[in-house]
Amino acid sequence: MLRIGCHLPSSKGYLEMGKHAVALGATTFAFFTRNPRGGKAKPIQKEDVAAFLAYAAEHDLQHLVAHAPYTMNLCSADPSIRQFGKDMLADDLQRMEYTPNQYYNFHPGSHVKQGAEVGIAQIAETLNEVLFPEQTTTVLLETMAGKGSEIGRSFEELKAIYDEVDRKERLRVCFDTCHVNDAGYDIANHYDEVFAEFDRVIGLEQIAVFHVNDSLNPLGAHKDRHANIGKGTIGYDTLHRLVHDETFANVPKILETPWLCEEGSAKKTIPPYKEEIEWLLK
Ligand code: FE
Ligand code: FE
Ligand code: ZN
């Protein structure tokens, strides 16, 4: 079934996210496990989770895609930052078990001046230390734009992480269209070739989630600035094609497009998701 949703604010808890998703016409959704800048997560409210799970079943909402905070850098040159990231990852994976069998996606990290090889080894080492046998959550490596020293700018870099992780059955990929464009893969003009390339390097079946975003920047800019659907370099046709691609019929699609300025107000912004979901479903 074609499932599409968006990234939602999580501060009011799970049930509120579920209701919000349904109100937007979403059948799946994403959220930050804690403040995206890092810090301590709010304790899980068991009643809230139970109410959410009942609500989700009733409204056919499926696939939570939790997003790790941006401050989680598993390949920082600073060991204390690596440890901070590892602790957050371990804590998040424990919390995810309250909602079993869902997804947890993270940005692999920025190696700063250590080089990609060292970065990849550090990321894999931490995954090997933290992923645990009873875990039901699948952890997703996100494809990255290659801003600064980001790991994940090429399919090969993600593959290199896979190669060193023991629990490969708990590791898959979150394919972000904006990031892939900014990394230099021309999905707008060479859609088939880009996915053939992904298939050759990692395997299409490893794509667990799509982040469906347009990009404000040209191909290969290594920038990572999301644009609203049809307002960027990728364009509506390619994103629409992806959403309806039979190959990915069962892969949830999540929008992370920017909020829009409300008319007559420079400050207040409103989410574009209801309209963008409707438009992509056409
Ligand atoms: Fe992300
Ligand atoms: Fe993303
Ligand atoms: Zn991004």
Rounded CA-CA distance 51/32 in Å is 19
The pLDDT assigned to 37 comes to: 81
- Which residues touch 169 (CB under 8 Å, ≥6 apart)? none
Which ligand does the CA of 217 lie closest to?
Answer: 3
Q: What is the pLDDT of residues 217-271, one digit of tens each?
A: 999 999 999 999 999 999 999 999 999 999 999 999 999 999 988 777 667 688 9
The pTM score is 0.97
Instruction: Decide if 56 contacts 91 (C-beta within 8 A).
Output: no
Which ligand does the CA of 176 lie closest to?
Answer: 2
Neighbours of ion ligand 1 (CB under 5 A): 142
**Cα of 222 from ligand 2 centre, angstroms:** 14
Q: What is the pLDDT of residues 167-205, one digit of tens each?
A: 999 999 999 999 999 999 999 999 999 999 999 999 999
Instruction: Decide if 163 contacts 216 (C-beta within 8 A).
Output: no
β-sheet bridge partners, residue 5: 28, 254
**CB contact burial 111-142 (16+ within 10 A = b; e otherwise):** bbeeebeebbbbbbbbbeebbeeebebbbbbb
Average pLDDT, the chain: 96
**Cα of 223 from ligand 3 centre, angstroms:** 9
Which ligand does the CA of 210 lie closest to?
Answer: 2
Q: What is the pLDDT of residues 17-75, one digit of tens each?
A: 999 999 999 999 999 999 888 778 989 999 999 999 999 999 999 999 999 999 999 99
Rounded CA-CA distance 10/30 in Å is 9
